[in-house]
Amino acid sequence: MAPLRSYPLPTLLTPPAVAQAWRRRGPIVVLETGRPNAAHGEQTLVAGLPVARFEWSRGRARIEALRAGIRWPSESDLAQERSPFHALERCVQALGGDAPLPCGAYGWFGYEATLPAELPRLEPWPDGWFLLTDVVVRFDRPGAPPTLLARDDRLARELQAELEEVAAASKPELATRSTADRRHTVVLPFTADDLDAATYSERFAQARASLAAGESYQLCFTYPLTRPLPPDGAFRLWERLRRDHPAPFSAYVEEPRFALVSCSPERFLRVDADRRVEARPMKGTASKPLDAVSRATASRELQASGKALAENLMIADLLRNDLGRVCRLGSVRASQPALVEEHATLLQMVSVIEGDLDRGRSTADLLASAFPPGSMTGAPKVRSIELLRALERSPRGPYAGILGYLASGGVCDWSVVIRTALCVAGQAQVNVGGGLVWDSTALEEWQESRDKAQPLLCALAEIVLERSAGRAAELAP
């Protein structure tokens, strides 16, 4: 099998330009660090031209070869694996690669990926979807020239020439609008069809009864909001969000049946080439004021909030337990408990959990131990999932699952699928919610969920308005 090689690309090339060129060739996945820093990493990855596609649905794996030359495990072989993560890991091993270069599997596992096959699913989304590829464009850091990673020299030269032409024809990216400009945009993001405060309060009362009975200490209750989406709206939504709401774990996934647009601020798990593990569970939210003095005050108030601290530390402890089952004894620690991060419109409380994978344990073992993300279930995890199933009335699909990549040697980086639009057939579904604890109040939690939804809903509303204005201009005499 040929080794991966690196091919230089023009500095002016952008992730959307690569995505626009490659989406004509088939499915694509873009994993973008919209806020590059030491904590979240700096590289942005655009994966396309897949060798194969992997899907997981209702407990069954399917691998579809799209390019010749690799012997994939059979579906009966994959059926012997003990989890979807082990089935995917086996396919990545078949693809091979040069660790820690990020060629491998790119995609997501939905929230229901490990739940019994007979439970409802969100159609038409499978429980897991990945493209497996040895063709990736990597942007190492802002301002540095990107590189193309590929095995096939002939294909790489063709793509290199194509992307040089794309870069030469590209227009400069629009500057990010200021927070003040975004907040003064006249858009009404919520509608009468959305879950109102009264209905939310009814569901909140049911959740609180479970807390009072001691069945759970925290429940992450969520609900969907649905909006119309014009043609090619998912791609335009991604372009707008990456400009106006850059997030540490932005993503764009597109294939013929659906598209997924994410501006997630939360890392689920990262494993590096030395088998070091990092989780960054996020619980505790506050609005981000415009001026620096007010932001500093709001940050101190969030850190001093007993409710926010309880939410965060419950989930941090849950993650420590999840990691402890597969990490070396004594290596799991909360290296940065309850720190506050600033994002585009919100302040978020985060705890950093670290550990080292134990000998004989793989990344698939880690994912099987920690999935689904504890920040999206509550604690204890198993009973909370059962209670949420009764509260939420509909499946979550990719939302509240994980999205990212798995490469050779178990190297990976996964975000939690939140602040995400699930786009299918002219509609976008945005799920929102938050962790409910005994000190929560219905009105505050309902308002917090709306605060989280607003950037995505405003961007969707702006796209629809622009589309309508463009059509009106075309029809004008």
| Cβ-based neighbour number of residue 279 at 10 Å | 29
User: Does 342 qualify as catalytic in the annotation?
Assistant: no
- The dihedral sign for the CA sequence 418, 423, 426, 427: negative
Integer Cα distance of 83 and 143 in angstroms: 40
Helix (H) or strand (E) holding 424: strand 420-424
Q: What does residue 450 show for φ and ψ, rounded to 5 degrees?
A: -70, -35
- Under DSSP, the state recorded for 172 is P
Q: What does residue 433 show for φ and ψ, rounded to 5 degrees?
A: 170, -160
* Annotated catalytic residue, options 266, 278, 354, 448: 266
- Residues with Cβ within 8 Å of 158's Cβ and at least 6 positions away in sequence, in order, are none
Integer Cα distance of 215 and 393 in angstroms: 19
* Annotated catalytic residue, options 89, 278, 283, 381: 283
The candidate with the shortest Cα–Cα distance to 238, out of 46, 25, 470, 475, is: 46
Type of residue found at 82: R
- Paired strand residues for 416: 402
Q: Counting beta carbons within 10 angstroms of the beta carbon of residue 421, is it exposed (0 to 12), middle (13 to 18) or buried (19 or more)? A: buried
Rounded to the nearest 10 degrees, the angle between the axes of helix 363-370 and helix 84-95 is 160
Integer Cα distance of 137 and 332 in angstroms: 33
Integer Cα distance of 102 and 100 in angstroms: 6
User: Does 283 qualify as catalytic in the annotation?
Assistant: yes
Integer Cα distance of 350 and 339 in angstroms: 5
| DSSP sequence for 48-64 | -S-SEEEEEETTEEEEE
Integer Cα distance of 307 and 351 in angstroms: 15
> Which pair of structure tokens corresponds to residue 119?
């439970």
Cβ atoms of 164 and 172 within 8 Å: the answer is no
Cβ atoms of 458 and 245 within 8 Å: the answer is no
Q: Is the peptide bond before 172 cis (omega within 30 degrees of 0)?
A: no
- Residues with Cβ within 8 Å of 298's Cβ and at least 6 positions away in sequence, in order, are 286, 287, 288, 289, 347
Cβ atoms of 380 and 216 within 8 Å: the answer is yes
- Residues with Cβ within 8 Å of 198's Cβ and at least 6 positions away in sequence, in order, are none
Active-site residues, by number, are 266, 283
